[in-house]
Amino acid sequence: MRILLVEDDPDLSRQLKQALGDAGYAVDHAADGEEGHYLGESEPYDAVILDLGLPKMDGVSVLEQWRRANIATPVLILTARGAWSEKVAGFDAGADDYLTKPFHTEELLARLRALLRRAAGHSSPSLAVGGLRLDPRAARATVNGEPLRLTSLEYRLLHYMMMHQGRVIGRTELVEHLYDQDFDRDSNTIEVFIGRLRKKIGQDRIETVRGLGYRLAPLVGEPQEG
């Protein structure tokens, strides 16, 4: 899952990038509204964390332009304490949730997980495909109750596929949502990670749809869950 963080405070940005990375997300950062607007318009993100008090272009203007361009990416806005008018303006511009500074990082992560769940149509805080389960709160996955040892990229891949279980996902889409903009992207590496993941979760859980991509689904006889 790939997140855009638009925040001009360098200390807060470093803190949030670290926390988001530790939680299993790929993170791109923009330090002003103009760069944030450009990235949000040109790159596919699963969610955006957007400060409203930004240099060059304020957060409300950034969000309004995204929504006018029919960019529907879920947006969590950050506002100054007591600035109720900013919250109203943010929601009217198309925000999905807000958080008032200062805040606890754990709350931001919880709100982000909720945004991602709603956007993907999931109601449960954990994800399940038959005996395969993933808990985004703990960044852990299990198969039939046994914990999986996953690298960060394997976890991101599994998380994205479980969020979109049952749908065919192309290599390009996976590359766009697994790596940040500074990563040397190569769609051929997706096949390598798919192979590694199959060895850990079961060869038949990820189906190759020739010419189109991959689909995660329960094994034959397993109930569809989550």
- Each residue's pLDDT tens digit, 68-100: 999 999 999 998 866 788 889 999 999 999 999
- 116 with 131, same domain: the answer is no
Q: What is the mean pLDDT of residues 54-69?
A: 96
| Mean pLDDT value across the chain | 91
Q: Does 221 map to a domain? A: no
Q: Does 48 map to a domain? A: yes
Question: How far does the chain reach from its first CA to its final CA, in angstroms?
Answer: 18
Q: d(Cα 195, Cα 25) in Å, to the nearest integer?
A: 21
Quick one: which of 174, 175, 170 has its CA closest to 186?
A: 175
- 37 with 107, same domain: the answer is yes
Q: d(Cα 109, Cα 99) in Å, to the nearest integer?
A: 11
- Judged against a pLDDT cut of 70, whether residue 223 lies above it is answered with no
- 160 with 116, same domain: the answer is no
- Judged against a pLDDT cut of 90, whether residue 225 lies above it is answered with no
- Residue at which a domain ends, from 68, 98, 120: 120
- 135 with 109, same domain: the answer is no
Q: d(Cα 178, Cα 155) in Å, to the nearest integer?
A: 10
SS3 for the chain is CEEEEECCCHHHHHHHHHHHHHCCCEEEEECCHHHHHHHHHHCCCCEEEEECCCCCCCHHHHHHHHHHCCCCCCEEEEECCCCHHHHHHHHHHCCCEEEECCCCHHHHHHHHHHHHHHHHCCCCCCEEECCEEEECCCCEEEECCEECCCCHHHHHHHHHHHHCCCCCECHHHHHHHHCCCCCCCCCHHHHHHHHHHHHHHCCCCEEEECCCEEEECCCCCCCCCC
Quick one: which of 122, 131, 146, 127 has its CA closest to 204?
A: 131
- 212 with 174, same domain: the answer is yes
- Residue at which a domain ends, from 76, 97, 120: 120
CATH number of the domain bearing residue 82: 3.40.50.2300
- 88 with 143, same domain: the answer is no
- Judged against a pLDDT cut of 50, whether residue 204 lies above it is answered with yes
- 108 with 70, same domain: the answer is yes
Q: d(Cα 196, Cα 58) in Å, to the nearest integer?
A: 43
Q: What is the pLDDT of residue 226?
A: 45
Q: Does 17 map to a domain? A: yes
Type of residue numbered 213: G
- 95 with 25, same domain: the answer is yes
Q: Does 74 map to a domain? A: yes
- Kindly state the percentage of the chain with pLDDT values over 90: 73
Q: What is the pLDDT of residue 121?
A: 87
Q: pLDDT confidence of 185, banded at 50, 70, 90? A: low
- pTM, two decimals, is 0.88
Q: pLDDT confidence of 182, banded at 50, 70, 90? A: low
CATH number of the domain bearing residue 148: 1.10.10.10
Q: Does 223 map to a domain? A: no
- Residue at which a domain ends, from 120, 154, 172: 120
- 8 with 89, same domain: the answer is yes
Domain count, the chain: 2
Q: How many CB atoms lie within 10 A of CB 151?
A: 11
Q: Does 12 map to a domain? A: yes
- Judged against a pLDDT cut of 70, whether residue 43 lies above it is answered with yes
- 115 with 131, same domain: the answer is no
- 30 with 108, same domain: the answer is yes
- 144 with 190, same domain: the answer is yes
Q: Does 50 map to a domain? A: yes
| Lowest mean pLDDT, pick from 84-98, 113-127, 148-162, 172-186 | 172-186
Q: Does 148 map to a domain? A: yes
Domain with 99, as residue range(s), is 2-120
Residue 71 has which token pair?
Answer: 């960019």
Residue 195 has which token pair?
Answer: 């192979």
Q: d(Cα 208, Cα 205) in Å, to the nearest integer?
A: 10
Q: pLDDT confidence of 186, banded at 50, 70, 90? A: low
Residue 6 has which token pair?
Answer: 């638009």
